[in-house]
Structure 1
Amino acid sequence: MDSELNGEDKVLDYTLKQTKETFEAFVEAVIPRSPKLAEQYGNIQYYGALDFLIDEYLIITLNEYHPDLAEATAEMLNVAAEKLILRNENREPVHFNGSGNFSALAPNDRLLALSLLKKYQYTSSHLLIPFENIFFNITDNLIRITMMGYYSEWFGYGMTRLKMPNERILEFYPLSWNQVGYPGPVPGHVFKNSQEQKETQV
């Protein structure tokens, strides 16, 4: 009995690990690190979605929509990547590392797999029944949710980010706000970009 439970635990641990690594690969492809921007505009512009733990934001947001939706979505991404590879449509070499097909793809090929999903070319026969009618909508929203998480206060919640929403505390100023010059929420404040500010001063 114990050995059976241990086996189930191992499957669960692997599923959770692969889900997280799939979403890490996804957000890395959507908003990568930008060393060239950092050279031009300062170190603050270096950081990407993976640095701000947006994979966690994506998983939590999907599962708030429907329990286990993140796991099913990760499976969908891996099926798309597998078929992309089988059809030799990936443009860069594949590097399998035990984390699933999607994370084995180069970042640009991950986005290619996503675009093919959006065209309804790839589906997963293994998706759970509750998700079969909604996963195309989820595909459309994956990039949007990633962008929302990146420019939200998510990373600033620090150690409280995984708590219930009413228990989260903004522990520090999110770096993504600094990247775009957003001063943070201020009652009655109207944000102007740097060009508008210069024109106002003149």
Structure 2
Amino acid sequence: MPLNTQRLLLRPWQDTDAADLYEYAKDTRVGPIAGWPPHTSVQKSAEIIRTVFNHPEVYAVELKENHRTVGCVGILIGSHSNFEISEREGEIAYWIGVPYWRKGLIPEAVREVMRHAFETLHLEALWCGYFADNTQSCSVQSKCGFRVHHTEENRYNAFFDDYRTEHISRITYQQWLEHTPAR
């Protein structure tokens, strides 16, 4: 089900998004701070669309103004999460291409996915994580009302075969209601 914001259409990924995905996911400033390697070809991006992004509640972030796919946002529910959470909870994951940093687009997308998670999917809480050096992701989570829950030192990352410090944030449905302006 597509989700709409003022500037964005959040919709399922399509094979035709591979070139746009590669354009932004090949940048070494994007994937490594989020814990995944840069894409190496349009074909690799197409494979990611068919596998990693081919799940319910994983959305392409498309700009309404020009229909370019510039990022990704999704909800990984229960056992699909990278965290040990209940089936009534979800993990929010996201990224956006460098030319669109600091424009408020990812907070806009995350807020809409949060609304959907709480109002449509009736989840009880949402989780997010960010690696210690990812200040942009920390800022997004703070803007969206997430609160740091705990920190995991030496968390293993299989993509890079390394260990990182990850800060884990959480927001409950009640906290979201308190943080969200009256609708």
Q: Shared topology, TM-score over 0.5?
A: no
More helix by share: 1
TM-score, scaled relative to structure 1: 0.27
More strand by share: 2
Larger radius of gyration: 1
